[in-house]
Chain A
Amino acid sequence: MPATQSLKKRKIVSASCDSGTSCPAGVASCPASSCPFRSPRSPRLKLLESALLLGPRPTAGGMEFSELIRTGRAQAELLRGPGAPPLRGTLCVTGHHLLLSPGPQATSDLWLLLLRSVDSIEKRVAGDSGTITLRCKDLRVLQLDIEGVEATLDIARSIEALSSLESVITSFPFFYRPKGLRLGDAWHFHPPEHYYKRVARETNAWRLSEVNEDFSVCPSYPRAVIVPRAVDDDALARSARFRQGGRFPVLSYHHAPSGTVLLRSSQPLTGPQKRRCAEDEELLRAVLAGARPGARGFIVDTRSAQAAKQARMTGGGTEAKAAYPGWKRLHRPMERGRPLQESFVRLVEACGDLEQSMDRWLSRLEGCRWLAHVKEALSTACLAAQGMEREGACILVHGAEGTDSTLLVTSLAQLILDPLSRTMTGFQELVEREWIQAGHPFQLRCAHSAFSHARPKHEAPTFLLFLDCVWQLGRQFPLSLEFGEGLLLALFEHAYASPFGTFLCNSEKERCLCEVRTRTHSLWSGLNQPKEQRKLRNPLYVLNPLAIWPSVEPQSLRLWQGLFLRWTRPPEPSEAAWEKVWQIVTDKEKTEGSQPTVSASEPQP
């Protein structure tokens, strides 16, 4: 294993991220260590180990994984919920996985669970056996019946310890080396330069600035951002000091048909004295000057007017009307943070509550308010999109930090307006550009899913809300998205726990420090393998050049059953339908062109 040999020696520079604040990604040193499997192993497990752990023996913050593993193995039975038959076999905890090997004569394959995807764990012992209930971040609930009380407790403790490790560079993506993928393959798939090239073809008013090259101007922005050509880097740096977290207004999307732009930023730091910043004002003036003549601007603030005003007390605030001529402020309050997380938790609780099967389900669903959040997000995105397309206005979106509801609005507005973002690659690029590189703090927001007993700190399902809104768009426009529910489900799963590095860390800066790009695989190269396509693509897709305006009436919005009821309903019928559509579409290719061509990249059967 030459690639990993070199890693063994490497010592990561300890957290020198923000001056004063420590890096939340929890950087740790990574010396090589002994084998996590102490007990004699079956050949089957050995095989698996070599498949999974081609890297150095993982350690956690100086402590070895093996120290956290209380027991090697136990006999257990796994219940996976309706539709899936129970599995019996040998249960084993490794540094990153829980595995169940069904014994030499069994026909079923080895069962494997990434420990990071465990959200909460509950143990019960009775007599000489025990039961562990694992609630996963992808909302699955698993039950393990284990022989032996000690074994149960040991396994539970091991899972508990290993699933809650916070260190990034000892996480599984740093050890995951799947066959057929090369490190670094898709990491240059969506750099800001790529999108800038497209903008530059459409307008000359914008430039790519590298003012943030060393992440000193804005720690949560990528190295390169798109800004008005008329504004120089010094002015940007000054504007950044006037915005929370340094998130000065940058281009999010250029709408070529109307010649208008969508910008995003964080709140201005006006404070109680109503401070102003000439460079910030100049920046927004330059935006209007660069758009079509006479263009107006709207600032969509995702907080209520009241909340925006209150933010002044803590140093934040909102753009004063007099300071930004041509810009008009609109307030569209959107839920964020804890209330959103609580809504998610309540919804998942309601969906999993099988006792309460009939009475009051609808009012309970309403009480969760999740669909109300979906409606809010979609209607604010419609407002932004409408402002550009119908009113010919430039739009700046921000809330407080500009890393959550702001990104929700800008990314959804693009999906509504931009046919390219509705393609498979376009959508991946959108997620990469508007969420990952734009600094949505995935590590903090997705630390726990809906089952955690811990008090939520920074968790919020903003990204899931985005995926849900996209699903609603797809339901209302079944032909207009090139991807299907499968991709959205995959993104949800991987955002919360993944063998890939794409959703690791909170910003490009942290990713850079952890060397995520060189040491982990990108989810996009995983997803874009030909064998995944049938699950992810929408076979009905036909390019729709128009804007897709969703209906946001409560009757038009549905509970995303495919996600929230995924593990409690038999999936076959909808899967069969999907397969059927594929068949028909595939048949089409067969009937067109009598000599079917097989692409070069396609492995021959």
Chain B
Amino acid sequence: MVQESVLNTNNFKKTSRDGVNWDLSEAVPRLPGETHVADKEVIYICPFNGPIKGRVYITNYRLYLRSLETDSALILDVPLGVISRIEKMGGATSRGENSYGLDITCKDMRNLRFALKQEGHSRRDMFEILTRHAFPLAHSLPIFAFLNEEKFNVDGWMVYNPVEEYRRQGLPNHHWRITFINKCYELCDTYPSLLVVPYRASDEDLRRVATFRSRNRIPVLSWIHPENKTVIVRCSQPLVGMSGKRNKDDEKYLDVIRETNRQISKLTIYDARPNVNAVANKATGGGYESDDAYHNAELFFLDIHNIHVMRESLKKVKDIVYPNVEESHWLSSLESTHWLEHIKLVLTGAIQVADKVSSGKSSVLVHCSDGWDRTAQLTSLAMLMLDSFYRSIEGFEILVQKEWISFGHKFASRIGHGDKNHADADRSPIFLQFIDCVWQMSKQFPTAFEFNEQFLITILDHLYSCRFGTFLYNCESARERQKVTERTVSLWSLINSNKDRFKNPFYTKEINRVLYPVASMRHLELWVNYYIRWNPRIKQQQPNPVEQRYLELLALRDEYIKRLEELQLANSAKLSDPSTSPSSPSQMMPHVQTHF
């Protein structure tokens, strides 16, 4: 009881730090634009501490429960966006204590259960209100992000500017050009408007290639190596089909990509799928690049499974961690979910991509079926390994904005924002899996990332919350139609206006260092702080002091850097005087030991 309340006061504080207004009459946090819908006395069946009587407040954004029992400070604060399913439990005649009420399944690895009184229509009202606001799309209501009136002192929508990002990579150059051929999303409706393609390929070529690639997702540049100029190119599968169709333009186009770097003799194609799946795709018109047709290319399969396999795997993880953790055979149960094995395969694939490019051996083309799930995972992770810029807070935001949001990872379908169809086969935790891979990397390289675990968890929380427009819709064209950047707030506004909370005090900026995580099962671990965070018994024993100490260190580091700069300034002013140079770290080393 104590622990859970601590946990929830944290949430409480967090929201208040986010600049949330408090409704004094109800003492319920309230965002600008958030409106009260209903409140009701219920019994919250806490899976860890048993039933707790409380009052639940429902707004158009959240479900908020405050304990009415004097010995419990329990608070639940759940954005309605995380709800995936609401069920009635028990009937009017069911007996037994607390057997009548609502059962709520969430997208963030927990379930909530409320018991209500059987008399009146109390349950029906609550069920209807919740359903209406948790699934606004089914009721012709707007998603909360469009009602949110929060103001931040930075505008997160300004974080990503494709032209600037490509310029940072040194593009355009002699071999690569920026094209506006997709300005009105005519070439490919799920691609961004701005694309980088080989200089030698004309717009006409691109149009012809598009006819041979699934959903017209042609090969375009994601990243270019600053020195050896090899590239990572992404696309969807070629439309080979049963008959083994070929397309001269596509073949020539891939060769043009290869030739942008004179040193390499073969283009490496990574097909993210298992071999059999790629073959099976021929039946539905898809397929892969055959050796006969693409002489100067080598194709490898990366054996990463599809969205359905990942969804089922995560479901199994939830089964063993919520509400009760499978204790007696924890490791073998965890193994049977295969979740870590999938993480391993994704990381292994990304390492191969990064290694090919970094060694300058070959340019790399990555695709899966449609090129918006596994492809996004592979390109973004490889870029994270190769380019230290993406390991800063803003760099990572740009990476997500570019490889995921602008290139049409179908967030709306995969997450099901505001949609009541909880069993939709399109839903899948692909983005979560990517964030998990990033977390695994940050564990293995504790100094390489500017952001901390809280940053990743915050991103995942708002992946579902619908408070921000960042992850809404499936592609850029849809977002543009809905004027998302004008009508909603960006998640990066929240994060960038309070960056200190998300900083890793041990971050050491390193340019040009390639990170190769160890993707062996024995070096991967379950992200307990995310997947099992609702269980008070798993909670690390003293999160607050640790966080506090990290913040302290962060402040110290900043102070030190400032001092160092001052001293350097002073030094350069009196360069001739050797007695005043106590600033270089190596010279300061000895007093590490002063207090021993």
**Known: A554-B330, A602-B593. Is A586-B588 also a contact (CB below 8 A)?**
yes
Cβ proximity bits B530-550 to A, threshold 8 Å, 1 near / 0 not: 001000011111100110010
Please, how many angstroms separate the alpha-carbon atoms of A224 and B518 in the complex? 51
CB distance from A381 to the nearest CB of B (A): 15
Instruction: Check if A126 is an interface residue, CB within 8 A of chain B.
Output: no
Name which residue of chain A comes closest to B528, CB basis. Answer: A555
**Known: A479-B546, A479-B549, A576-B447. Is A589-B594 also a contact (CB below 8 A)?**
yes
Instruction: Check if B325 is an interface residue, CB within 8 A of chain A.
Output: yes
Name which residue of chain A comes closest to B344, CB basis. Answer: A358
Name which residue of chain B comes closest to A577, CB basis. Answer: B446
Instruction: Check if A19 is an interface residue, CB within 8 A of chain B.
Output: no
Instruction: Check if A144 is an interface residue, CB within 8 A of chain B.
Output: no
Cβ proximity bits B103-125 to A, threshold 8 Å, 1 near / 0 not: 00000000000000000000000
Chain B residues within 8 Å of A584, by CB = 505-506, 553, 556-557, 560
Cβ proximity bits B405-445 to A, threshold 8 Å, 1 near / 0 not: 00000000000000000000000000000000000000011
Instruction: Check if A197 is an interface residue, CB within 8 A of chain B.
Output: no
Residues of B490-528 contacting chain A, CB below 8 A: 505-506, 508, 518, 520-523, 525-526, 528
Please, how many angstroms separate the alpha-carbon atoms of A602 and B591 in the complex? 9
Please, how many angstroms separate the alpha-carbon atoms of A389 and B31 in the complex? 45
Please, how many angstroms separate the alpha-carbon atoms of A558 and B524 in the complex? 11
**Known: A479-B545, A479-B546, A577-B446. Is A358-B589 also a contact (CB below 8 A)?**
no
Binds A, one of B65-73, B331-339, B362-370, B464-472: B331-339
Contact residue among B344, B446, B526, B542 (Cβ-Cβ distance under 8 Å from A573): B446
Cβ proximity bits A509-541 to B, threshold 8 Å, 1 near / 0 not: 000000000000000000000100110010010
A577 x B596 contact (CB < 8 A): no
Instruction: Check if A228 is an interface residue, CB within 8 A of chain B.
Output: no
Please, how many angstroms separate the alpha-carbon atoms of A141 and B556 in the complex? 41
Please, how many angstroms separate the alpha-carbon atoms of A584 and B553 in the complex? 7
Instruction: Check if B329 is an interface residue, CB within 8 A of chain A.
Output: yes
Please, how many angstroms separate the alpha-carbon atoms of A263 and B286 in the complex? 73
Name which residue of chain A comes closest to B320, CB basis. Answer: A555
Instruction: Check if A234 is an interface residue, CB within 8 A of chain B.
Output: no
B549 x A366 contact (CB < 8 A): no
B520 x A358 contact (CB < 8 A): yes
User: In this complex, which of B344, B448, B505, B520 has the most chain A Cβ atoms within 10 angstroms of its Cβ?
Assistant: B520
Instruction: Check if B563 is an interface residue, CB within 8 A of chain A.
Output: yes
Chain B residues within 8 Å of A359, by CB = 341
Residues of B316-349 contacting chain A, CB below 8 A: 321, 325, 327, 329-332, 334-335, 340-341, 344
B446 x A558 contact (CB < 8 A): no
Chain B residues within 8 Å of A360, by CB = 335
Please, how many angstroms separate the alpha-carbon atoms of A446 and B238 in the complex? 62
B541 x A591 contact (CB < 8 A): no
**Known: A596-B594, A602-B593. Is A574-B446 also a contact (CB below 8 A)?**
yes
Please, how many angstroms separate the alpha-carbon atoms of A605 and B540 in the complex? 42
Cβ proximity bits A444-487 to B, threshold 8 Å, 1 near / 0 not: 00000000000000000000000000000000111110000000
Please, how many angstroms separate the alpha-carbon atoms of A479 and B591 in the complex? 21
B325 x A476 contact (CB < 8 A): no
Chain A residues within 8 Å of B91, by CB = none
Instruction: Check if B96 is an interface residue, CB within 8 A of chain A.
Output: no
A555 x B540 contact (CB < 8 A): no
CB distance from B530 to the nearest CB of A (A): 12
Please, how many angstroms separate the alpha-carbon atoms of A428 and B540 in the complex? 26
Residues of B542-596 contacting chain A, CB below 8 A: 542, 545-546, 549, 553, 556-557, 559-560, 563, 585, 587-596
CB distance from B252 to the nearest CB of A (A): 39
Please, how many angstroms separate the alpha-carbon atoms of A530 and B590 in the complex? 10
**Known: A362-B331, A589-B591. Is A550-B506 also a contact (CB below 8 A)?**
no
Chain A residues within 8 Å of B560, by CB = 584, 587-588, 590-591
Please, how many angstroms separate the alpha-carbon atoms of A580 and B331 in the complex? 33
Chain B residues within 8 Å of A477, by CB = 541-542
B541 x A363 contact (CB < 8 A): no
Name which residue of chain B comes closest to A573, CB basis. Answer: B445
A553 x B538 contact (CB < 8 A): yes
Please, how many angstroms separate the alpha-carbon atoms of A500 and B506 in the complex? 35
Instruction: Check if A397 is an interface residue, CB within 8 A of chain B.
Output: no
Instruction: Check if A111 is an interface residue, CB within 8 A of chain B.
Output: no
B329 x A366 contact (CB < 8 A): yes
**Known: A573-B446, A581-B506. Is A553-B325 also a contact (CB below 8 A)?**
yes
**Known: A479-B549, A576-B508, A590-B588. Is A366-B332 also a contact (CB below 8 A)?**
yes
Contact residue among B330, B539, B556, B593 (Cβ-Cβ distance under 8 Å from A530): B593
Name which residue of chain B comes closest to A537, CB basis. Answer: B596
Please, how many angstroms separate the alpha-carbon atoms of A565 and B444 in the complex? 13
CB distance from A370 to the nearest CB of B (A): 11
B591 x A565 contact (CB < 8 A): no
Instruction: Check if A583 is an interface residue, CB within 8 A of chain B.
Output: yes
**Known: A362-B521, A555-B325. Is A588-B556 also a contact (CB below 8 A)?**
yes
Name which residue of chain A comes closest to B532, CB basis. Answer: A555
The number of residues on chain B lying at the interface, defined by a beta carbon within 8 Å of a beta carbon of chain A, is 55
Chain A residues within 8 Å of B520, by CB = 357-358, 361
Please, how many angstroms separate the alpha-carbon atoms of A470 and B546 in the complex? 18
Chain A residues within 8 Å of B518, by CB = 569-570
**Known: A477-B541, A565-B522, A584-B557. Is A363-B341 also a contact (CB below 8 A)?**
no
A582 x B592 contact (CB < 8 A): yes
Contact residue among A358, A479, A587, A599 (Cβ-Cβ distance under 8 Å from B556): A587
CB distance from A379 to the nearest CB of B (A): 12
Instruction: Check if A42 is an interface residue, CB within 8 A of chain B.
Output: no
Contact residue among A357, A551, A559, A581 (Cβ-Cβ distance under 8 Å from B541): A551
**Known: A357-B521, A548-B541, A574-B446. Is A365-B563 also a contact (CB below 8 A)?**
no
B330 x A555 contact (CB < 8 A): yes
Chain A residues within 8 Å of B591, by CB = 586, 589-590, 596-598, 602
CB distance from A524 to the nearest CB of B (A): 14
Please, how many angstroms separate the alpha-carbon atoms of A569 and B524 in the complex? 12
**Known: A357-B520, A477-B541. Is A598-B590 also a contact (CB below 8 A)?**
yes
B545 x A587 contact (CB < 8 A): no
Chain B residues within 8 Å of A574, by CB = 446
Chain A residues within 8 Å of B553, by CB = 540, 581, 584-585
Name which residue of chain A comes closest to B520, CB basis. Answer: A357
Instruction: Check if A556 is an interface residue, CB within 8 A of chain B.
Output: yes
Contact residue among B325, B341, B592 (Cβ-Cβ distance under 8 Å from A358): B341
Name which residue of chain B comes closest to A604, CB basis. Answer: B590
**Known: A584-B557, A591-B559. Is A555-B526 also a contact (CB below 8 A)?**
yes
Please, how many angstroms separate the alpha-carbon atoms of A582 and B563 in the complex? 18
Please, how many angstroms separate the alpha-carbon atoms of A565 and B539 in the complex? 26
CB distance from B447 to the nearest CB of A (A): 5
B590 x A602 contact (CB < 8 A): yes
Chain B residues within 8 Å of A589, by CB = 591-592, 594-595
Name which residue of chain A comes closest to B562, CB basis. Answer: A591
A362 x B541 contact (CB < 8 A): no
B594 x A598 contact (CB < 8 A): yes
Please, how many angstroms separate the alpha-carbon atoms of A587 and B592 in the complex? 9
Contact residue among A479, A551, A582, A597 (Cβ-Cβ distance under 8 Å from B537): A551
CB distance from A559 to the nearest CB of B (A): 7
A542-B549, A551-B537, A589-B591 are known; give 14 further A-B pairs, CB within 8 A.
Answer: A351-B522, A362-B335, A366-B331, A477-B541, A533-B593, A554-B325, A565-B522, A573-B448, A580-B508, A584-B505, A586-B591, A589-B594, A599-B593, A605-B589
Which residues of B pack against A, CB within 8 Å?
321, 325, 327, 329-332, 334-335, 340-341, 344, 444-448, 505-506, 508, 518, 520-523, 525-526, 528, 532, 537-542, 545-546, 549, 553, 556-557, 559-560, 563, 585, 587-596
4 closest A-B pairs by CB: A554-B330, A577-B446, A366-B331, A362-B335
In the complex, 18 of the A-B residue pairs with CB atoms within 8 angstroms, ordered by the A residue number, are A361-B335, A479-B542, A548-B541, A551-B538, A553-B327, A554-B330, A554-B331, A555-B526, A573-B444, A577-B446, A577-B506, A581-B553, A584-B506, A586-B589, A589-B595, A590-B560, A596-B594, A602-B591
